[in-house]
A and B are shown apart, each in its own frame.
Chain A
Amino acid sequence: MAGAGRGHGNGATNGRSPRYSAWDLARRGLTGEAWPPAWRKHELRPSYDVVIIGGGVHGLATAHYLAANHGITDVAVLDKGYIGGGGSGRNTAILRSNYLTPEGIAFYDRSLELYRGLAADLNFNVMFSQRGHMTLAHNDASLRTMRWRAEVNKLVGVDSEVIDPDEVAKLVPRMDVSSEARYPILGALWHPPGGIIRHDAVVWGYARGADSRGVQIHQNTEVLGIDVVAGRVTGVQTSRGAVSAPIVVNCTAGWSSLISDMAGVEMPVHTFPLQAAVTEPVQPFLDPVVVSGTLHVYVSQTDRGELVFGASVDPFASYSTRGSLEFIEGLAGHVLQLMPSLHNLRLLRQWAGLCDMTPDYSPIMGPTPVEGFYVDVGWGTYGFKAGPVSGEQMAACIATGATPELIAPFALSRFAAGELVGEKGAAAVGH
């Protein structure tokens, strides 16, 4: 879409959220003056230039960059629940860019770059904590894959290297690096720029940024159908009425195939629950994010002191997010294999979110066979880290009508062409 839209956003700065600063915080602390809303409520209008389905990080970032970078402000973000209620509010918020393929690395590295500047850009502290990301290797096959990743990363200029068990022990003192462990640690891929972030803050920061530029955010607004006329999208049907729009963007992650079905677009997406859990807080002892592929577990410690655990997706496809006992049993077993001293920490809460898995562990971004209907989906278990770059690139794609180079490898058409993204290469090296 070229041009700057119909400009409903004009004047929308009235009543928008003021700049956050320590000074204003102090002033309001003294005067008791309340903060105005970070985003506002609106009536649903009968038409918009762009309708974005899904108020997670992807939908909100796309809306934000449409407005901020391209002046397209007549945009509605529709979510069936509350913003961040999907994967964006349930993930373990691990950020990294040390992927396997040059195209994957370039893409995620741009996202990290945006994340680094995000607090300032959005005037919202998203608490990005670059504490380093460590992937353990427990056998020579995974050590080889780590090296593979490290070498490709170095070529692309991303800081990622293979370290030995002594260095692992130095970075994570409680780790069992002995050779007696059931799955001894042979080394690790160490990626200092990786880290964790406050996921809700990213969602809210983008929502506030988009709102301040005139984007309308509609919560509790479920899309029930998509109107397609002669191969072209014309609007959506929602629980609050019909909305016409020449451009509709699907940013619904775990639900994305249901939305694409409404437009008659088939997708290689399969929805699996992914579970996570958190312990009661203890005093900080674990700095980096630690991942073990062999043991299917990853661990980080928040600033609040809680340990956050994740693992691989559930063993079968489902839209149920109730979670299972087997999951936390297996998780605890694996955590204790890595760090046996944590036996008397208590697991406080478990939860699940939905992941839109694709055959090659890579997203699907860009136009579809239905004109005006775009997808930004297939985010699986790894899409939070890609929120900023996806928003930026999807916005450019929509605004210019041309697919930007960074996301070209992730086109929907690659499946029919049999050109899967090489991230699958490492993921499937089983041994």
Chain B
Amino acid sequence: MITLSCPWCGPRNVTEFAYGGESGARPDPATATPQPWRRYLYTNANPAGPVTETWLHRAGCRRYLVVERDTTTNEILAIRRPGGAPSTSARHATTGRATEQRP
């Protein structure tokens, strides 16, 4: 079980969070035609690699978060508040440390 470093609460088990799916840009509902709208509703990029998605810290601060995650390893690349700058991610905290320790 991986942890996610919530920008508000700190590192927490992934089971505290709810997955909200890939973040995607919504076409303007006022002008959208069916084709792009349904593409928005149903299509996913579904990459094998980094993807930007929405998560909710359901059993914590109940904030929605923007998470960058590698779908092949589940490594968390960055977490930030919606619209905000990237917070310190798990990766910076751990990988950096290990590198410094190498002889």
Contact = CB atoms under 8 A, between A and B. Distances in A.
Interface of A: 255, 257-258, 266-271, 315-320, 324-326, 359, 415-418
B1 A317 contact: no
Contacts of B72: 318-320
B38 A415 contact: yes
B71 interface: yes
Contact of B42 (A268, A317, A320, A326): A268
B46 interface: yes
A257 B39 CA distance: 14
Contact of A326 (B1, B19, B71): B1
- Which residue, of A318, A324, A326, A417, has the highest number of chain B Cβ atoms within 10 A? A318
B73 A320 contact: yes
Given A318-B74, A416-B34, A416-B35, A324 B1 contact: yes
B14 to A, nearest CB: 8
Interface in B66-100: 71-74
Given A266-B43, A269-B46, A320 B71 contact: yes
B41 interface: yes
A266 B74 contact: no
Contacts of A359: 41-42
A267 B47 CA distance: 12
Nearest to A314: B19
B15 interface: yes
Interface of B: 1, 14-15, 18-19, 21-22, 34-35, 38-39, 41-44, 46-48, 51, 53, 71-74
Contact of B19 (A257, A317, A319, A418): A317
Contacts of A266: 39, 43
Nearest to A327: B1
A417 B38 CA distance: 8
A317 B41 CA distance: 17
A257 B44 contact: yes
A318 B71 contact: yes
Contacts of A267: 43, 46
Contacts of A416: 34-35, 38-39
Nearest to B46: A257
B15 A326 contact: yes
A255 B42 CA distance: 17
Contacts of A324: 1
A359 B40 CA distance: 12
B19 to A, nearest CB: 4
Nearest to A330: B15
Contact of A319 (B14, B34, B71): B71
B42 A271 contact: no
B38 A320 contact: no
Contacts of B21: 270, 317
A415 B34 CA distance: 10
B38 A418 contact: yes
3 interchain residue pairs of minimum CB distance? A316-B19, A268-B42, A257-B46
A354 to B, nearest CB: 10
Contacts of A317: 19, 21-22, 44, 46, 51, 53, 71
Given A257-B44, A318-B72, A415-B38, 14 more contacts: A257-B46, A258-B47, A266-B43, A267-B43, A268-B42, A270-B44, A270-B46, A317-B53, A319-B48, A319-B71, A320-B71, A320-B74, A324-B1, A359-B42
A320 B75 CA distance: 11
Nearest to A270: B44
A69 B43 CA distance: 34
- Which residue, of A271, A316, A318, A416, has the highest number of chain B Cβ atoms within 10 A? A316
Given A320-B72, A320-B74, A325 B42 contact: no
Contact of A418 (B34, B48, B51): B34
- Which residue, of B14, B42, B47, has the highest number of chain A Cβ atoms within 10 A? B42
A379 to B, nearest CB: 15
A267 B43 CA distance: 6
A315 B53 CA distance: 13
Contacts of A319: 48, 71-72
Given A316-B19, A319-B48, A415 B71 contact: no
